[in-house]
Copies of this chain bind each other. A is one copy, B any other.
Amino acid sequence: MNKIKAYGTESHKDDLKEMTIERRDVLENDVKIDILYCGVCHSDIHAAKNDWGNSKYPLVPGHEIVGKVVEVGSAVKDYKEGDIVGVGCMVDSCQECQPCENDLEQFCEKGMVGTYNGKNKHTGKQTFGGYSTTVTVREEFVLKVPTNLDTKAVAPLLCAGITTYSPLNHWNVKKGDKVGVVGLGGLGHMGIKFAHAMGAETIMITTSPDKAKDAKRLGADDVIISKNEDEMKKHKNSFDFILNTVPVKHDINPYLNLLKIDATMCMVGAIEPLEPMNGGNLIMGRKRVAGSLIGGIKETQEMLDFCGEHNITSDIEMIDMQDINTAFERVTDSDVKYRFVIDMDSLK
């Protein structure tokens, strides 16, 4: 085992602070990564504060990791020292069940191993995330980062990127489609970039008129202010697909009215009970509401390659590791455009 520096918390009440954690020695299928950058995801805050009731402490967040390979196990084929690589929300799965065989490791029947707050299969101990100087991950869960992209701004692609790319890709968004993105935050800003790059007429749907300008800069063709009933009425039954990134309880009925016959709204943000959905809004028009969770490893690599081709990265604000508690407050207040990324040099 190797002792390394990390930033984490001993309890849901505490701020994050510097601590020492252990990483396993490099096994034959492992890739050891020197972490360069780590994105700050809203889930990191939920986990640190035990909002979902399943946090184990000490807890070291971070699942939007970009780094440099510094060592590989004897059986590793696809990576070598010096490669720039990424690690997302998962670091292991059974690799044998139907979902794993179908490249949907996020739905592994035995449970995927989270990058943090999961159970390390090799040590039996806790997994610790990317708010740290190094991480050791089995080869199958390491991603190649396209060399033409700004490495810092790639980090958020590993969670916010794949979470929005996957449903747009799965529901086959393409040129000629009219696609709505609800909510303009870490997820929503990536949703706009992807839908636009896939060739869709991309419409930002937001409660805040002051987000219109930025939405257009990011690639939206138009903006609907969802509080404006006339505007919502004008777009009734016209959307081929809606990506709903709102991370909290809300009323989805007005968005269902925007869908065409047989069209789908996919939820990627809110994992809690929503406001009561009106059954009639699904029945009239054979409409659908679905959900989507990150994406499998194969699709995550496809997403990174797509970003390389289309020169897509996240809009980021860099911070030092020591600024993390302020960053958490600002994320909670939606005061970031659109993702904080930690420069891990600050911890070394």
Contacts and interface: CB of A to CB of B under 8 A. Distances in A.
A284 B293 contact: yes
Nearest to A286: B292
Contacts of A285: 107, 291, 293
A77 B281 CA distance: 38
Contacts of A282: 267, 289-291
Interface string A243-272: 000000000000000000100100111111
Given A273-B277, A288-B288, A290-B288, A283 B268 contact: yes
A125 to B, nearest CB: 25
Contacts of A270: 279
B267 A107 contact: no
How many copies the complex holds: the figure is: 2
Contacts of A273: 276-279
A149 to B, nearest CB: 28
B264 A288 contact: yes
Closest 7 CB pairs of A and B: A282-B291, A283-B291, A271-B280, A273-B276, A270-B279, A288-B290, A283-B293
Nearest to A244: B279
A270 B285 CA distance: 15
A288 B279 CA distance: 13
Contact of A279 (B267, B276, B279, B281): B267
Nearest to A109: B237
A133 to B, nearest CB: 32
A107 B284 contact: yes
Interface in A283-336: 283-293
A170 interface: yes
Given A271-B280, A281-B291, 9 more contacts: A99-B261, A269-B279, A273-B276, A274-B278, A277-B277, A283-B292, A284-B291, A284-B293, A285-B293
